[in-house]
Each structure stands twice: as structure tokens, then as C-alpha cells.
């Protein structure tokens, strides 16, 4: 834990109670630093710690990462069980009926309920909030690198000129990624790789997905940087 970790107060609402209970779940189990250091961990160490503070709702991949080690049991997972859910796909790999499977499923449902409540609360709270006027920025170099990686993946299928045959009704979404309008999230990098894997026999799907996720995260940070520079220049 950080030198002065913020201990959530479970009396202050559902969000802090969730974080408090999550901390309690991890007592006596592998530490956050150890989880963050694992090869298949996609959430950063700061994000994992922040999920335990109760200050804001953490994203699904962060909570799922902690629960995989604290509620589930990676040693019991069956690697041959496939799931199209990139966030909670480890739960179906646990033996049905075992304690870890039941506990992980309960925590997942609790997080999803909390997420719905927090989203509704924030929407209500922010109705009178006026957003900062958007600024125009050029597509940063880092996002161009991500686009190049997506194009390369598609070209390896041999269907770059017939993307409709590859992605079907999701083609328009993929075209938005290629044009730089949107950066794909974890779920859609996974979906893109799965679509392309059917036409690339020797594709290492996990490595490809990780490569795209890293490039997408770097691109997101680059856009934040460029927007900050643009706002400062307009003042």
C-alpha cells in the first residue's frame, strides 16, 4: 500500500463500502504490487490502489483484476475454456460450482450494480454542469502508430479491400478507428483481433491484443496531452 493509504469509510455510501469490503477481501492474500507485476495484468499499479480508496468508481478491468486474485483462483482456471468477454472472461474458466466461481460471480454482480447506481448518480449531479468548450487538435503521432497497427492486422487477413466480409455490421465502427475519430477500448481491440484471427492461422491472438491495447493507451494519453497544450495556448 502507499505510505498513507486512504481508508474508505463504509458508512459514507455504497462506493466507499464496496472499496472497504474489497480491501478486506484482499487481507492475507497476494499484494497489489505483486498483482500489478504479473504478465497478464492490464491494470496499472496506481489504478489498482485507487480502486481501494473509494474516491471514485474504478473501471471494470481494474476491479476484475483484483477479484481474479482475491475472489477467484487463477490456479483453478481452465485455459481451454474460451470466453468473448475480455474483462470477466476468467470467471467461466473456474470450475462450475466451486467456491471461487460462486464468490467471483457474486462480486462481479455487486460491481455491476454499483456501476449502474454510480452512473445514474453522476448523471443526475452533472445535469447543470457545463463542460469545457472542446478544442481542435490534430491526430497525434502516437494515434497514427495505433492506426498503422490496426491496418497491418487487417491487411494480413487479405480482406483490407473487403472489410465488410471481415467485420460485417461492425465495419463502420472499425472505419472510425482507422480514420482517427475514436480510439478502441479493451473490448474492441479484443473483438478486432478475434475477427481477424479467423483469417490469420498463425496469429498469436493474446500478443496481438496486448500490443494493440498498449498502443491504444499511449494514443489516449497523447490526445490528453495535445488537448491540454491546445487549451493552454488558447488562454
pLDDT at 220: 94
Q: Are 23 and 66 a contacting pair, CB within 8 Å?
A: no
Residues 27-55 have pLDDT tens digits of 999 999 999 999 889 889 999 999 999 98
pTM for the model? 0.54
Q: Are 9 and 49 a contacting pair, CB within 8 Å?
A: no
Residues 136-145 have pLDDT tens digits of 889 999 999 9
Q: Where are the domains of the chain?
A: 10-125, 141-234
Alpha-carbon distance of 135 to 146, in angstroms, equals 22
Q: Are 112 and 57 a contacting pair, CB within 8 Å?
A: no
DSSP characters over 44-65: -HHHHHHTTT-SSPPPHHHHHH
Alpha-helical runs (H) found in 83-156: 99-125, 141-155
Give CA separation, 124 vs 119, 121, 167, in Å.
Answer: 9, 5, 37
pLDDT at 1: 44
3-state secondary structure of 210: helix
List the Cα angle 148/152/156 in 5-degree steps: 170
Three cell numbers written together for 201 = 492461422
In terms of Cβ atoms closer than 10 Å to its own Cβ (0-12, 13-18, 19+), residue 13 is middle
- Chain position carrying cell 498513507: 4
Task: Please enumerate in sequence order all residues whose Cβ is within 8 A of that of 224, keeping only pairs 6 or more positions apart, or say none.
Answer: none
Handedness of CA 210, 212, 215, 218 (dihedral sign): negative
Low-confidence ranges of the chain (pLDDT < 50): 1-3
Amino acid at each position: 500500500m502507499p505510505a498513507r493509504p486512504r481508508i474508505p469509510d463504509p458508512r459514507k455510501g455504497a462506493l466507499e463500502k464496496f472499496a472497504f469490503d474489497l480491501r478486506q477481501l484482499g487481507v492475507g492474500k497476494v499484494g497489489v504490487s505483486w498483482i500489478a507485476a504479473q504478465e497478464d495484468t492490464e491494470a496499472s499499479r496506481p489504478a489498482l490502489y485507487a480502486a481501494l480508496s473509494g474516491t471514485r468508481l474504478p473501471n471494470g478491468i481494474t476491479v476484475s483484476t483484483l477479484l481474479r486474485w482475491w475472489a477467484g483462483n487463477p490456479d483453478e482456471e481452465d485455459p481451454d475454456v474460451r470466453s468473448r468477454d475480455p474483462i470477466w472472461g476468467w470467471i467461466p474458466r473456474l470450475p462450475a460450482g466451486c467456491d471461487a466461481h460462486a464468490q467471483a460471480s457474486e462480486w462481479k454482480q455487486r460491481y455491476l450494480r454499483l456501476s449502474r447506481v454510480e452512473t445514474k448518480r453522476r448523471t443526475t449531479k452533472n445535469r447543470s454542469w457545463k463542460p469545457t468548450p472542446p478544442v481542435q487538435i490534430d491526430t497525434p503521432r502516437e494515434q497514427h502508430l495505433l492506426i498503422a497497427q490496426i491496418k497491418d492486422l487487417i491487411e494480413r487477413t487479405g480482406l483490407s479491400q473487403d472489410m465488410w466480409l471481415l467485420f460485417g455490421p461492425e465495419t463502420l465502427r472499425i472505419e472510425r478507428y482507422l480514420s482517427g475519430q475514436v480510439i478502441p477500448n479493451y473490448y474492441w481491440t479484443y473483438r478486432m483481433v478475434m475477427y481477424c484471427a479467423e483469417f490469420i492461422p498463425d496469429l498469436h491472438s493474446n500478443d496481438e491484443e496486448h500490443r494493440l491495447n498498449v498502443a491504444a493507451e499511449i494514443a489516449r494519453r497523447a490526445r490528453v496531452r495535445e488537448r491540454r497544450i491546445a487549451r493552454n495556448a488558447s488562454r
